[in-house]
Amino acid sequence: MKKFNTAGPCIPKKHYMVDLEDRLNRIHRMVDDGEYFTINRARQYGKTTTLAALAGKLTEDYLVVSLDFQKFSQSCFEHEDSFCHAFPVFLSGR
């Protein structure tokens, strides 16, 4: 049985949610065309849900890398070299 979700990403099979297909198709075309886009809204507007669905959609044509910069240490941002070296460690899960 589906229910309304008020915390965290929505899971289409578990939660009621807005149909994202048109929005995802528009963003996919932007990515295909090499355009930039931003997703910015207040809390509980579906940003994380949209990005998760977009990652699933783009995986068909692209290698999708998802990063949470909140998990990077402060020192990673101090110099370009330390920032670049943080990626392999972060991606390997260390």
**pTM, to two decimals:** 0.68
Output 25 or 71, whichever has higher pLDDT. 25
Measured CA to CA, the distance from residue 24 to residue 27 in angstroms comes to 5
Question: What phi, psi does 15 have (nearest 5°)?
Answer: -125, 150
pLDDT of residue 17: 80
Which tokens hold the place of 84?
């670049």
Per-residue model confidence as pLDDT tens digits over 51-68: 989 999 999 899 888 777
Phi-psi region of 93 (alpha: psi -120 to 50; beta: other; left: phi over 0): left
pLDDT at 94 over 50: no
Mean pLDDT of the 23-49 span: 91
